[in-house]
Structure 1
Amino acid sequence: MAFRGSVRPFVNFDANRDAEFLHRAMKGVGTDEDAILMLLAARSNDQRQQIKAAYKKAYGKGAGTNDEVLIEILASRTGEEIKRIIKVYKTEFGGKLEKDICGDTSGHYQKLLVILLQGNREEEVDEGKIENDAEDLYAAGEGKFGTDEEKFIAILGNRSAEHLRKVFAAYKKLCGSDIEDSIRGETAGNLENLLLAVVKCARGVPEYFAEVLFKSMRRAGTDDDALMRIMVSRSEVDMLDIRASFKKMHGASLHTTIQEDTSGDYQRALLYLCGGSD
């Protein structure tokens, strides 16, 4: 029978070369969607799977994995919210969220995601652990050659937000700098971004979202996915606090910033979700 498909395997296929091309197309300011679409449309499904494997090996995540969303949600949601997310995910997609995350991530980044996915943070402040935790974080990072990522993951992934705020204060008193400075100096990539998000959410979830919203609008091109996701998901949770934090941090209201960076019905919907101009 004659071949009736529209895509044949690409001649002279090189998975590593295609993976590198995709990485360049998705890196930096903006994404070259046309180039990505043209490449993937010209490859067979088997070749696409090889590209995915090559991309993951070279760059540490599956092609198409939205790490920003993983980081934002798992760092900011409460234990109960995460457990509900897991249940809905299984209902909607028929699989286990942890398994899917593990399939597209790796290393210490994956370990911290899995810890956060358990939704079992300690609820109390353990006064006896505060100084020890601060000392352990210092010893794991700035106080040694190399970095003990496991220690950062264990402390930041399991302690309560209130406990961590006290640890951060003790850490600054101990070494004279903020824990964020140590994380930036000792880690990189998705692990760094996730650790920083956990720290920021421990300091204050509204402040964290105010920063993400600001970045979604005040960089080259508006990140509409992040903007819509946060405005919708937080509109019934803590939008008033986010608005207050936004104005305090950036000197302009969220309402005004949305007006300056969006337009039309899209703008009107966002302003409605914002709920006020202060």
Structure 2
Amino acid sequence: MYVCMYICIHTYVFRHKLYWCINQHKCPWLRAVLEKEIICNRRHQNNPPLCISSMLQAARGTVKPSQNFNATQDAEVLYKAMKGIGTDEDAILQLLVARSNAQRQQIKVAYKTQFGKDLVDTLKGELGGKFETLIVGLMAAPLAYDVSALRNAIKGAGTDEKVLVEILASRTPQQVKEIVAAYRKEYDDDLEEDISGDTSGHFKRLLVILLQGNRQSGVQGGNVEADAQVLFKAGEQKFGTDEQTFVTILGNRSAEHLRKVFDAYMKLAGFEMEESIKRETSGGLRDLLLAVVKCARSVPTYFAETLYYAMKGAGTDDDTLIRVMVTRSEVDLFDVRTEFRKLFACSLFSMIKGDTGGDYRKALLLLCGGDDA
């Protein structure tokens, strides 16, 4: 039975094989589970439900586990690349970008076991600038990366609201709960308290709601039209704006429910929800509300836009570029690339190529995984 289940689940990412698996399978309970998963996926093409969706997401990343992986051999290659005078940056990036995050964690262990040194500390000592930031980011486990990014965003001078918005608007409720727990474990601090102490107003309230990780599931059938009406009255039909209504509804309803609300709102108001938010709100709250709406519609599209505006115009927002490329490389970067090409006059690959340079550019282009020109 377990062999059958392994085969069925691992062929799930290949749709034609999955249908064969269902038709041939002898386990009625597993057949029912897989059929239900297909139906769920059809309804949530942009934002698939959890269940087996993590496997679907992995299939949409540009970075895959390396075949015939050997952590000990990889550790030796990295050691030689950083031994003595000079550093072979190309060898480092070619190896690490071509490994999955789980494999990189194994390489870290093998490196310390063989050479008695911490690999990340060694990389920091040998590399520099944006290239170092990118490679060190790739070496962090995904959860640890998010936790560290949030910590850096709220500690020190000023608050990097862009990081708070990007992470908390785009992660699933379960991922947010894991972030909160990992933050407490790592820093012995409460993430909600730290964010609350660094933000204010309705921006803070929406962040706190998102930090609870308690979004409703599914579509609340009778509430779709009602939510659209309430949002319309709270903004366009009101002198001033009832920000709390936007915060409560957009912060608590499921992505599936919100997509239906947006459709109902369009019919009612004659324009998209994003247009109302831009007119009725400002500052950090506007940015967060827009991010929530965009992620409810399509997470890959949200990140395609984020990457575009990180590189558009004079200068490059390298922190955002690195953060998105690192965090989406094994999740949905292939879909982000596809949406990028639909939205803009160039491919993600070509924009990165024209906006960056050196080993930093080489590593980013390898992460991108191909040109959609």
TM range (shorter): 0.7 to 0.9
Shift of 1:162: 1.0
The answer to whether the aligner puts 1:249 opposite 2:360 as a matched pair is no
In the alignment, which of 183, 189, 206 is matched to residue 95 of structure 1?
189
Shift of 1:251: 2.7
Q: Distance in 1 between matches of 2:238 and 2:209?
A: 25
In the alignment, which of 239, 264, 267 is matched to residue 145 of structure 1?
239
Equivalent residue of 1:124, what SS? Answer: coil
- 2:302 is aligned to 208
Please give the residue correspondences for 1:60-99 in structure 2 after superposition, counting only pairs within 5 Å: 63-99=157-193
Identity of aligned residues (%): 61
What is the TM-score normalised by the length of structure 1? 0.77
In the alignment, which of 117, 124, 128 is matched to residue 222 of structure 2?
128
Shift of 1:157: 0.3
In the alignment, which of 309, 318, 321 is matched to residue 227 of structure 1?
321
Q: Which amino acid aligns with 1:118?
A: Q
Shift of 1:83: 1.1
Q: Distance in 2 between matches of 1:230 and 1:171?
A: 30
- 1:166 is aligned to 260
What is the TM-score normalised by the length of structure 2? 0.57
RMSD between aligned alpha carbons? 1.0
Q: Distance in 2 between matches of 1:220 and 1:78?
A: 33
Please give the residue correspondences for 1:40-55 in structure 2 after superposition, counting only pairs within 5 Å: none
Aligned residues: 217
Q: Larger RCO: Structure 1 or Structure 2 (Cα < 8 Å, ≥ 6 residues apart)? A: 2
Shift of 1:252: 1.5
Q: Distance in 2 between matches of 1:123 and 1:244?
A: 28
Shift of 1:63: 4.3
Q: Which amino acid aligns with 2:316?
A: T
- 1:263 is aligned to 357
Shift of 1:276: 1.6
Which blocks of at least 5 consecutive residues in structure 1 are unaligned? Answer: 1-61
Q: Which amino acid aligns with 1:148?
A: D
Shift of 1:219: 2.4
The answer to whether the aligner puts 1:182 opposite 2:281 as a matched pair is no
In the alignment, which of 304, 311, 319 is matched to residue 217 of structure 1?
311
Q: Which amino acid aligns with 2:240?
A: G
1:243-276 alpha-carbon deviations (Å, 9 max, x no partner): 0000000031111111010011000111111112
Q: Which amino acid aligns with 1:122?
A: Q
- 2:211 is aligned to 117
Equivalent residue of 1:199, what SS? Answer: helix
Shift of 1:86: 1.1
Shift of 1:98: 0.3
- 1:106 is aligned to 200
- 2:369 is aligned to 275
Shift of 1:171: 0.4
Q: Which amino acid aligns with 1:242?
A: V
Q: Which amino acid aligns with 1:226?
A: T
Q: Distance in 1 between matches of 2:197 and 2:336?
A: 34
Shift of 1:105: 0.4
1:87-112 alpha-carbon deviations (Å, 9 max, x no partner): 22112222010010001001111000
Q: Which amino acid aligns with 1:136?
A: V
257-266 vs 88-97, which moves further: 88-97
Equivalent residue of 1:177, what SS? Answer: coil
